[in-house]
Amino acid sequence: MSVKYFTPEGLEKLKLELHEFKTKGRAEAAAALQEAREKGDLSENAEYDAAKEAQGMLEMKIAQLEAELSSARILDESRLDTSKVMILSKVKLKNLKLNKVIDYMIVTEKEADLKLGKISINTPIAQGLLGKSVGDVTQITVPSGTLELEILEISR
């Protein structure tokens, strides 16, 4: 199993999601099964089959989250080098074609949220920025074409 890295906030979010599934999710699944059982013959009860399948999917999701948590490691932001772009870097960029400044934080895939300016390390933009320094200009191919970005600032 591979190690997965998280920010402290991302790990807490994962733990809360698991707790929600184990408590509320399991209670709802049990209630749905009980309700379906009360409707009679289980051999011809489609509602019971659907409830059993939903319960199985819930348990599979719980197992996946537990496996993720068992291999989770917290990224130590205090040890990050701000001379180059890497995971957890906050990057101020200038789109040279549009003459527009944008800010991104490069995070793990689970923590990505474009509305908050957090992009996954697996995106073409993040991949094109990794290892670059302030002042570097990079061309990154994205589905809509090619971006020409200048790195103005790197911080934690």
Question: Two tokens at 80?
Answer: 């990050």
Phi-psi map region of 87: left, alpha, beta (phi>0 left; psi -120 to 50 alpha): beta
**Whether pLDDT at 1 is above 60:** no
Domains delineated in the chain: 4-74 (1.10.287.180), 78-155 (3.10.50.30)
Q: What is the 3-state secondary structure (H, E, C) of 88-137?
A: CCEEEEEECCCCEEEEEEEECHHHCEHHHCEEECCCHHHHHHCCCCCCCE
pLDDT score of 143: 87
Backbone angles phi and psi of 143, in degrees to 5: -55, -30
Average pLDDT over residues 83-89: 87
**Whether pLDDT at 114 is above 70:** yes
| Residues 7 and 77 sit within 8 Å (Cβ to Cβ) | yes
The pTM is what? 0.63
**To the nearest whole number, what is the mean pLDDT of the chain?**
88
Average pLDDT over residues 32-50: 81
Percent of the chain with pLDDT over 90: 52
